[in-house]
Amino acid sequence: MPYHDIEAAPRDELAARQRERLRETVRRAYERVPFYRDRLDEAGVAPGDIESLADLERLPFTTKEDFREAYPDGLFAVDWADVRRIHASSGTTGKPKVVAYTEGDLDVWRQVMARSLAAAGVEPGGTVQNAYGYGLFTGGLGFHDGAEELGTTVVPTGAGETAKQLQLLEDLEADVLACTPSYCLYLAEAAAERGIDPRDLPLSTVTIGAEPFTDPMREEIESALDVTAVDVYGLSEVIGPGVSVECAQAQDGLHVWEDHFYPEVIDPQTGEVLADGEEGELVLTTLTKEALPVLRYRTGDVTTLTAEPCECGRTAVRMDNVAGRTDDLLVVRGINVYPSQIEAAIVDLEAVAPHYRIDLRREGRLDRIEITVERHESYDGSPAALEERVASRLDDVLGVTPDALRVVEPGELERTTVGKVTRVYDHRE
Ligand code: DLL
């Protein structure tokens, strides 16, 4: 049973609602945000020209750079007095992207997060321990509000403080943990170090997101904690977590809450809209945001879309798990490869722990790629033999030969306990 009727609405009903909302959003953006007025004028499109969803293609894209240039509030469409909350996402460089919410936006966010948690199998009356960071990051408060809206008890631990995290899990018996995939794995390790079998923790579901992960990584999490790990996706510029989520029933793609967010997938090079099933960059348009309407935002996230019906009965389009970003693409001796492909290839090996790092360096005019993996505790062969296995796996699956490959001892690679994990370290200029 979906949380809201719209989740199972016939697609034409949904499309009619989207069309109305799109027209209203474009009009609002044009009238209230000089940036959009200029962009649309340049493109020769008037708000009244947007009659159907297909007309969306006529609108220019919005990018991360546009957010940075408009810092802090150049894209806001309401007066400051109507802004109830601010969040911000810190990029790796430069100014943060500042985002705003009206009372109405916060309500939509609570609703889509409640829907997301319900789809993930979380039930009213359950207990959610929320280990996403509270503060400017949207993860903490986004999950918090949605979990309250759904009618669960929230334990707002926030990020880090692993000892307390474990103690509260045991004592308050949360059945749901919300955190990044990398923190899930860290928590399982930390439990084991304290003599607690992580599979004995009371958890039945973890809602993971905020950073890319592959299926083999998810399997590691599910088996380490004996849980169902459900993928929740979102980004600050659009709302925060709660743009899309897997249903626990099928765990086969993330249902995009299309009555609020309109998804497209484009060829990142040409900007051309791709057909269902074709992989490209996810572009999102908000359909109900008041404080910060966003038209055709280029997320940088790589995925595919499908409108095939799902066994859960929800009719919303599904996007594939986001395993990487367009700007993550590595070129290893002429071969294009995403870090996620490297992750999937190595984490699948039983002898390797789900921890690795990739270092990129420049030597003269050549790029060097170095991969470091951790031996799994259960592997008792020689490091040299394991190195050979990993190397031949990378060659077989991806045709990639790193310039250096190292196997280190369990626990040797640094763990991320707060915030998003970094796996690729680029030391080039
Ligand atoms: O990470 C919102 C969020 C919080 C989502 C908690 C899920 C759970 P930002 O900090 O703005 O917002 O970062 C957004 O993180 O463009 C993706 O690259 C990545 N990302 C978010 N969710 C997923 C996911 C939050 N489920 C950026 N899988 C996005 C892969 C994800 N990548």
User: Measuring from atom 10 of ligand 1, which residue has the nearest CA?
Assistant: 89
Judged by average pLDDT, the poorest of 15-29, 242-256, 287-301, 364-378 is 364-378
Ligand 1 centroid – CA 391 distance (Å): 31
What pLDDT score does 332 carry? 82
Taking the C-alpha atoms of 179, 185, 187 and 188 in order, what is their torsion angle to the nearest 10 degrees?
Answer: 130
Nearest to 174 by CA among 143, 215, 216: 143
What pLDDT score does 93 carry? 66
Ligand 1 centroid – CA 361 distance (Å): 27
Ligand 1 centroid – CA 212 distance (Å): 8
pLDDT digits (tens, 9 = 90+) for 205-228: 999 999 999 999 999 999 999 999
The binding-site residues of ligand 1, defined as CB within 6 angstroms of any ligand atom, are 89, 132, 137-139, 209-212, 231-236, 240-241, 299, 301, 322, 325
Ligand 1 centroid – CA 236 distance (Å): 8
pLDDT digits (tens, 9 = 90+) for 115-145: 999 999 999 999 999 999 999 999 999 999 9
What pLDDT score does 92 carry? 62
Q: Which atom of ligand 1 is nearest to the CA of 132?
A: 6
What pLDDT score does 97 carry? 96
Split at pLDDT 50, 70, 90, the class of 272 is very high
Split at pLDDT 50, 70, 90, the class of 258 is very high
Ligand 1 centroid – CA 78 distance (Å): 25
In testing the pocket of ligand 1, which one of 113, 138, 245, 304 has its CB within 8 Å of the most ligand atoms?
Answer: 138
Is the model's pLDDT at 94 over the cut of 80? no
Cα distance between the two ends of the chain: 53
Ligand 1 centroid – CA 283 distance (Å): 14
What pLDDT score does 2 carry? 87
Whether the model pTM is above 0.85: yes
Q: Which atom of ligand 1 is nearest to the CA of 231?
A: 26
What pLDDT score does 95 carry? 87
What lies within 8 Å, CB to CB, of 235 at 6+ separation is 89, 243, 284, 299, 301
Domains and CATH numbers, the chain: 1-327 (3.40.50.12780), 329-426 (3.30.300.30)
Nearest to 118 by CA among 225, 247, 306, 290: 247
User: Measuring from atom 6 of ligand 1, which residue has the nearest CA?
Assistant: 139
What lies within 8 Å, CB to CB, of 48 at 6+ separation is none
The predicted model gives 86-96 an average pLDDT of 83
User: What is the average pLDDT value for the chain, to the nearest integer?
Assistant: 96
pLDDT digits (tens, 9 = 90+) for 177-206: 999 999 999 999 999 999 999 999 999 999
Q: Which atom of ligand 1 is nearest to the CA of 234?
A: 5
Ligand 1 centroid – CA 66 distance (Å): 19
Split at pLDDT 50, 70, 90, the class of 323 is confident
User: Measuring from atom 9 of ligand 1, which residue has the nearest CA?
Assistant: 235
In testing the pocket of ligand 1, which one of 143, 221, 233 has its CB within 8 Å of the most ligand atoms?
Answer: 233
The predicted model gives 52-81 an average pLDDT of 97
In angstroms, the Cα distances linking 156 to 103, 121, 160, 231 are 22, 20, 12, 20
Ligand 1 centroid – CA 192 distance (Å): 28
Percent of the chain scored above 90 by pLDDT? 94
The predicted model gives 88-109 an average pLDDT of 91
Ligand 1 centroid – CA 401 distance (Å): 30
